[in-house]
Amino acid sequence: MLKKLATLLLGAASVTGLSGAALSAEKWDMPMAYSATNFHSVTGAEFAKCVTTGTGGAIEITTHPSGSLFKGNEIKRAVQTGQAPIGERLLSAHQNENPIFGLDSVPFLATSFDASDKLWAAAKPTMEKLLDEQNLVLLYAVPWPPQGLYFKKEVNSVADMKGIKFRSYNSATARLAELAGMLPVQIEAAEISQAFATGVAESMISSGATGYDRKVWESLTHFYEVDGWLPRNHVFVNKDTWNGVDEANKNVIRACAAMAEYAGTWRSKEYTGFTLAGLKAGGMTVGKAGDQLTADLKTIGDTMTGEWLDKAGDEGKAIVEAFRAE
């Protein structure tokens, strides 16, 4: 009798779908590379909550910031291969796979939030296609604040940079260091406090946000606002995982992603001033780069733009032309 009742109940549940969500709840771990308090991580956590609530718990996303599940440089591969269903990555660090991934790190191509949005609008269809070819479905992308230079001394020209050990985060930042006569060493943001403290690196180009998150005033003294570019973090899902999601839940995820891109960009803008003030409060000298330094960097930027356009071919040129025509 009891057995019969249980069978009946189970049958009812599957017909009404009442307990369907709970029974088939999927748990998605989402590796992220930056500190939990960073605005990208906050945006990811809000996105995760939105999906969990919006799908009625059918898909429950848990973020893992600070590179705790996979380190920054492991995240893309982990999602491609299905070791993680979803993740966030600074795509420009994968420019060696395709030059288009480095579009947002071409120096002085798009140097403001508005320009970054336009460049992203021009690039998005191509980016979606390239990621799709790599078994990834793009969900949203949020820019970092404008990139500036950090040093442990006053620097007024590229000549002043000669021989300095420079922390890079992608091949564009390494190339910039090389062209400036510095010595690049690639280090994930999660590890830079250590690198600066031990002297493995003594300068970098990054946002005020990353300097603030990693308390670099403990080792460095100067931040020059250069507004070089605004690289983006991209959130993507493994394509096989995505194909297993029903249409209603896909729509929920897409809507949460659109909100995350909007809110994340807003947070990035807010974080720009807040973190530059934080660097100052930490004792750093913060200000615009001088005329000589600006002119020298512009020359390096022109070289790098030419190099990138050569490598990126027609697809790259078409994006830059569409962006410039805006």
Residues 6+ apart with CB under 8 A from 193: 214, 215, 216, 218, 219
**Shortest separation between residue 112's beta carbon and ligand PCA, angstroms:** 15
> For ligand PCA, which residue of 207, 241, 265, 268 counts as binding (CB under 6 A)?
207
Kindly state whether residue 38 participates in binding ligand PCA, applying the rule CB under 6 A: no
> For ligand PCA, which residue of 122, 138, 189, 216 counts as binding (CB under 6 A)?
189
For residues 217 and 194, give the distance between their C-alpha atoms in angstroms, rounded to a whole number.
Answer: 12
Q: What does the radius of gyration of the chain's CA atoms come to, in whole angstroms?
A: 22
DSSP string computed for 54-80:
HTTTSEEEEEETTTTSS-HHHHHHHHH
For residues 92 and 76, give the distance between their C-alpha atoms in angstroms, rounded to a whole number.
Answer: 11
Closest of 95, 92, 148 to residue 120, by C-alpha: 92
Nearer to ligand PCA, 172 or 179 (CB): 172
Q: Are 229 and 293 in contact (CB under 8 A)?
A: no
Q: Judged by CB under 6 A, which stretch of 54-62, 116-124, 201-209, 237-245 contacts ligand PCA?
A: 201-209
Kindly state whether residue 86 participates in binding ligand PCA, applying the rule CB under 6 A: no
Burial code of 126-136, b = ≥16 C-beta within 10 A, e = fewer?
A: bbeebbeeebb
**Shortest separation between residue 147's beta carbon and ligand PCA, angstroms:** 6
Kindly state whether residue 136 participates in binding ligand PCA, applying the rule CB under 6 A: no
Question: Looking up tokens 């000298």, which residue turns up?
Answer: 285
**Shortest separation between residue 268's beta carbon and ligand PCA, angstroms:** 9
Q: Judged by CB under 6 A, which stretch of 11-19, 134-142, 205-213, 291-299 contacts ligand PCA?
A: 205-213
**Shortest separation between residue 61's beta carbon and ligand PCA, angstroms:** 23
Q: In the structure, how many helices (H) and strands (E) does the chain have? A: 11, 11
Site string for ligand PCA, 212-231 (x = CB under 6 A): -------------------x
> For ligand PCA, which residue of 90, 138, 142, 320 counts as binding (CB under 6 A)?
90
Residues 246-275 that bind ligand PCA (CB under 6 A): none
Q: Are 104 and 112 in contact (CB under 8 A)?
A: no
Q: Contact residues for ligand PCA (CB under 6 A)?
A: 90, 144, 169, 189, 206-207, 209-210, 231
